[in-house]
C-alpha cells in the first residue's frame, strides 16, 4: 500500500520541491493550500517538474482554524509541516507573523498526534540558531538558540523561534518527543517550480536585475532547495532525526561572491550584475533605509560556521555545491522571465 504524506504549504517554494520529490519516490501526497484558487497552480507546477500527479490531491487548510485538519490527516502516515507566514519586512503588528506561525505549528502537530501519524517533520529556520550569542569562530550546532527577546530580531525570526519551541513543548507534554523532527534551513535557493521566487531567491533576482548599484558584503548561509527536500523526506523515517533539530546550511557566502559566480557562469544574463562591492560603512548606512539589509546587518562581513555533519549523515551525501545552485537559480530566473537582461 502506498504511504500518504500530508504536506502543508505545498504551493510554496520548499513545499513544492518536497512534494515533487515525494511523488518521484512513489509516495501519495496530500498537499494543503490556504485557498482552493491555488489548486491548478500546484498541479501545473508538479507537472512542469516532470512528476506524475495521479497520486496528488489538494486540500484546504488554514493555520488559524481547526476546520479540515482531521479529514486532511485521515490515512496519512507522515506529516511534513512546511506552511508558515514569511516576510523579512517588519509588519505593523508582529503578531501578523507570530500568531499564525505558533498556532499553525501547534495545530498541525497536535492534529497529527491525534491522528496517530508516525513522524512529523517541521520546517523551522536557521534563524532560530544563528543569532545566538556566541564567541568569534564559534561552530553553531543544534544546541544553540537565538534569544526571542533579542532587541534586533525581526518578526519573522521571532515567529520561527516561538513556533519551533511550541512544537517541541507539545510533543514533550504528550510524552512523544521522538515523533517530531525539525529541519533548520539556511537561505534556500535553487530551480523554481513557479514564477514566485521566494525571499532568498529574490536576493539573486535583485542582483541579476541590477536593483543594487553595488553589492553589499552580506554573508548568507545558502542551501540548495533539493537538499532541503531530501532532508525532510529522510527525516520522516530516520531514527537519527527523531526528536532533534537538523541544520541544513553551508558556511555563509557573501553577495559579492554570488555576483561573481553569476558573472562567470551566466555571462549572457550578467549585463546588469554590479561589479563593485559596497563599502562596509555604506552598507551600514544603506541598512537604515533598506529593510532586508536592516534585518540582517549584523551579518555584514561576518564569517559564521555551521555544523553540517548531522545533515550530511541524514542525507547520505555532502550538501550540494552552492556555486552550482546559484547558477541553476539564475538560469531558472531567466527561463521564468523574472529578470530583465
Which residues, 6+ apart, have CB-to-CB distance to 203 below 8 Å? 187, 220, 255, 258, 292
Q: Which of 136, 160, 162, 303 is catalytic?
A: 160
The whole-angstrom separation of Cα 286 and Cα 332 is 29
160 is known as an active-site residue? yes
Strand segments, DSSP code E, in 39-186 are 56-60, 76-81, 119-123, 139-140, 180-185
Which residues, 6+ apart, have CB-to-CB distance to 212 below 8 Å? 206, 274, 278
Cα distances from 259 to residues 265, 274, 281, 323, in angstroms, run 10, 7, 20, 10
The whole-angstrom separation of Cα 20 and Cα 226 is 10
The whole-angstrom separation of Cα 293 and Cα 283 is 8
181 neighbors 241 (Cβ within 8 angstroms): yes
Give the distance, in angstroms, between the CA of residue 193 and the centroid of all CA atoms in the same chain: 15
Residue whose C-alpha cell is 560556521: 305
Please report which helix (H) or strand (E) contains residue 253, including its range.
strand 253-254
Angle separating helix axes 13-24 and 39-48, nearest 10 degrees = 60
Q: What is the DSSP letter of 50?
A: T
Catalytic residue numbers read: 160
Amino acid at each position: 500500500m502506498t504511504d500518504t504524506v500530508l504536506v502543508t504549504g505545498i504551493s510554496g517554494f520548499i513545499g513544492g520541491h518536497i512534494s515533487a520529490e515525494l511523488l518521484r519516490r512513489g509516495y501519495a501526497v496530500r498537499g494543503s493550500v490556504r485557498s482552493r484558487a491555488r489548486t491548478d497552480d500546484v498541479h501545473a507546477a508538479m507537472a512542469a517538474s516532470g512528476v506524475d500527479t495521479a497520486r496528488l490531491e489538494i486540500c484546504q487548510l488554514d493555520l488559524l482554524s481547526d476546520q479540515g485538519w482531521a479529514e486532511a490527516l485521515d490515512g496519512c502516515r507522515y506529516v511534513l509541516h512546511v506552511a508558515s507566514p514569511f516576510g523579512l519586512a517588519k509588519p505593523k503588528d508582529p503578531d501578523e507573523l507570530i500568531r499564525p506561525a505558533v498556532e499553525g505549528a501547534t495545530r498541525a502537530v497536535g492534529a497529527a498526534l491525534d491522528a496517530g501519524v508516525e513522524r512529523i517533520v517541521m520546517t523551522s529556520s536557521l534563524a532560530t540558531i544563528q543569532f545566538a550569542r556566541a564567541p568569534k569562530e564559534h561552530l553553531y550546532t543544534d544546541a544553540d538558540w537565538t534569544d526571542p527577546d533579542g532587541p534586533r530580531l525581526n518578526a519573522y525570526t521571532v515567529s520561527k523561534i516561538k513556533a519551533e519551541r511550541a512544537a517541541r513543548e507539545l510533543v514533550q507534554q504528550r510524552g512523544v518527543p521522538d515523533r517530531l523532527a525539525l529541519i533548520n534551513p539556511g537561505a534556500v535557493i535553487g530551480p523554481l517550480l513557479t514564477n514566485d521566487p521566494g525571499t532568498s531567491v529574490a536576493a539573486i533576482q535583485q542582483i541579476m536585475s541590477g536593483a543594487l548599484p553595488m553589492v553589499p558584503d552580506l554573508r548568507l548561509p545558502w542551501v540548495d532547495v533539493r537538499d532541503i527536500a531530501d532532508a525532510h523526506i529522510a527525516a520522516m523515517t530516520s531514527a537519527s532525526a527523531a526528536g532533534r533539530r537538523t541544520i541544513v546550511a553551508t558556511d555563509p557566502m557573501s553577495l559579492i561572491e554570488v555576483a561573481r559566480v553569476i558573472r562567470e557562469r551566466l555571462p549572457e544574463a550578467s549585463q546588469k550584475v554590479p561589479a563593485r562591492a559596497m563599502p562596509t560603512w555604506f552598507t551600514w548606512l544603506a541598512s537604515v533605509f533598506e529593510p532586508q539589509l536592516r534585518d540582517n546587518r549584523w551579518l555584514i562581513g561576518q564569517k559564521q560556521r555551521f555544523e553540517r555533519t548531522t545533515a550530511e549523515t541524514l542525507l547520505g551525501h555532502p550538501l550540494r555545491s552552492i556555486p552550482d545552485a546559484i547558477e541553476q537559480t539564475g538560469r531558472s530566473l531567466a527561463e521564468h522571465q523574472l529578470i530583465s537582461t
